[in-house]
């Protein structure tokens, strides 16, 4: 049983931060409908969805993953690289703090949750415009007592590490080799995105299934050919805000008799 923390789309979504995509008109009502379908898809994959109310003051606040990290042993309040996003996290952290000891990334460190990919006890952290060396080192220090190894990974041409690579199987990753060095993930089976679908590497793994954005049919075929169960959702309006399926939720897994642990 999983819990997915989400937040409704802000009415100010069109004023979102952008770094690597051109600004395009966003239909906020359509974005809300797509987000509702995304939440329904999470429910269909076995998640209990906890949806926080929209925040008009914070255009990017639907992207809850960037403001907090959840591990089995603790939660971490990140310090987003975009200064305008640093006050978004209070409601998310209130929820996480009720089920995890809470630590924080402090200035001068910056860290976006979208730059953090956990695969077992290895935590890959993107070197990006949003996450700096001080943020990496603070996360390494917070996680070391719990047996996690933090690996810094250079990115290029994309917003976050998880724009370029995500976990899609127990020991399988989906990678855009134009945006990250594939050799970093040599210990895993690698599925490369179709070269014509540059934004296709972002996916959410829930148990043995994958929640994946519509619009990347060639890469989708590669995933299914690898035997991965895939459920697709339309997040095209959220993609205009440089969002993706990972950043719209924080997943926690509930183990029988042991409360909730990070998914």
Catalytic residue among 160, 199, 248, 258: 160
Residue 248 near residue 63 (C-beta atoms within 8 A): yes
For residue 258, indicate whether it is catalytic. Answer: no
**CA–CA distance, 240 with 242 (Å, rounded to integer):** 5
**CA–CA distance, 28 with 17 (Å, rounded to integer):** 15
DSSP structure class, residue 83: G
Catalytic residue among 39, 158, 247, 248: 247
Residues in the chain: 263
* Among the listed residues 69, 67, 23, the one whose alpha carbon sits nearest the alpha carbon of residue 239: 23
Structure tokens, 230: 């895939």
**CA–CA distance, 150 with 224 (Å, rounded to integer):** 30
Residue 112 near residue 105 (C-beta atoms within 8 A): no
**Cβ atoms within 10 Å, residue 17:** 17
Angle ∠(188,189,191) on CA atoms, nearest 5:
125
Residue 247 C-beta-side C-alpha neighbours within 13 Å? 26
Residue 215 C-beta-side C-alpha neighbours within 13 Å? 17
Structure tokens, 132: 């700096």
Residue 89 near residue 109 (C-beta atoms within 8 A): no
For residue 247, indicate whether it is catalytic. Answer: yes
Angle ∠(1,140,204) on CA atoms, nearest 5:
35
What positions carry a catalytic annotation?
Answer: 160, 247
């Amino acid at each position: 049983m999983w819990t997915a923390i989400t937040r409704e789309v802000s009415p100010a979504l069109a004023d979102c931060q952008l770094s690597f995509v051109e600004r395009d008109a966003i239909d906020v009502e359509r974005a809300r409908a797509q987000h509702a379908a995304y939440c329904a898809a999470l429910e269909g994959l076995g998640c209990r969805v906890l949806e926080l109310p929209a925040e008009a003051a914070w255009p990017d606040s639907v992207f809850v993953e960037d403001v907090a990290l959840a591990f089995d042993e603790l939660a971490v309040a990140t310090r987003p690289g975009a200064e305008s996003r640093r006050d978004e996290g209070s409601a998310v952290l209130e929820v996480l703090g009720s089920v995890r000891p809470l630590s924080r990334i402090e200035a001068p460190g910056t860290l976006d949750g979208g730059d953090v990919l956990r695969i077992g006890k290895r935590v890959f952290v993107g070197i990006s415009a949003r996450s700096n060396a001080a943020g990496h080192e603070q996360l390494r220090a917070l996680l070391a007592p719990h047996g996690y190894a933090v690996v810094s990974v250079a990115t290029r041409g994309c917003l976050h590490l998880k724009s370029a690579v995500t976990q899609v199987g127990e020991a399988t990753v989906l990678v855009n080799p134009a945006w990250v060095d594939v050799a970093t993930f040599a210990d895993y089976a690698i599925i490369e995105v179709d070269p014509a679908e540059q934004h296709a590497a972002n996916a959410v793994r829930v148990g043995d299934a994958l929640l994946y954005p519509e619009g990347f049919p060639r890469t989708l075929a590669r995933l299914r050919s690898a035997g991965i169960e895939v459920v697709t959702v339309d997040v095209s309006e959220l993609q205009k805000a440089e969002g993706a399926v990972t950043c719209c939720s924080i997943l926690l897994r509930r183990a029988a008799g042991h409360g909730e642990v990070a998914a």
